Amino acid sequence: MGVGALYALDRQSTGPDRDTTLGARVPAAFWASMVAGFVFPGAQGLQAEFPHLVLRIKGVWINERFASAGMLTLTALGYALERRALRGQPHQT
């Protein structure tokens, strides 16, 4: 993640469309890895180590899987909105 972020900061821009794609991929990779951790057998999340820190509503642990899914959704929404806004602008050279 750190290398990807440094690359994104240091590279020469080739266009706003490509910058938007790269800007969405770097954080999405992190949040996707957090969600993917729950598909492994026995993975329990933060509540396994620190149950006193994790909220529980009607027997459901409100742990990092909800935050990860929410952040992935917001990243996808932001990406889609930015792509739509870029399509409406004239391309600058």
* Domain membership flag for residue 66: yes
- pLDDT band with cut points at 50, 70 and 90 for residue 9: low
DSSP code of 42? T
Establish if 82 belongs to a structural domain: yes
Residue 16 lies in a domain: yes
Q: What is the mean pLDDT of the chain?
A: 75
Domain annotation covers residue 41 = yes
For the segment 25-38, the average pLDDT, to the nearest whole number, is 78
d(CA 56, CA 44): 14
**68 located within any domain:** yes
Q: What percent of the chain has pLDDT over 70?
A: 66
Residues in the chain, overall count: 93
Q: Compute the distance between CA of residue 66 and CA of residue 87 in angstroms, rounded to an integer.
A: 32
Note the pLDDT of residue 58. Answer: 92
Domain containing 16 equals 2-87
Q: pLDDT tens digits for 56-70?
A: 889 887 878 888 888
pLDDT at 93 over 60: no
Residues in a beta bridge with 60: 57
Longest dimension (CA), the chain: 56
pLDDT higher than threshold 80 for residue 7: no
* 92 lies in some domain: no
Separation of alpha carbons 57 and 7, rounded Å: 41
Counting the structural domains of the chain, the total is: 1
User: Is residue 93 in a domain?
Assistant: no
Has residue 46 got a pLDDT over 60? yes
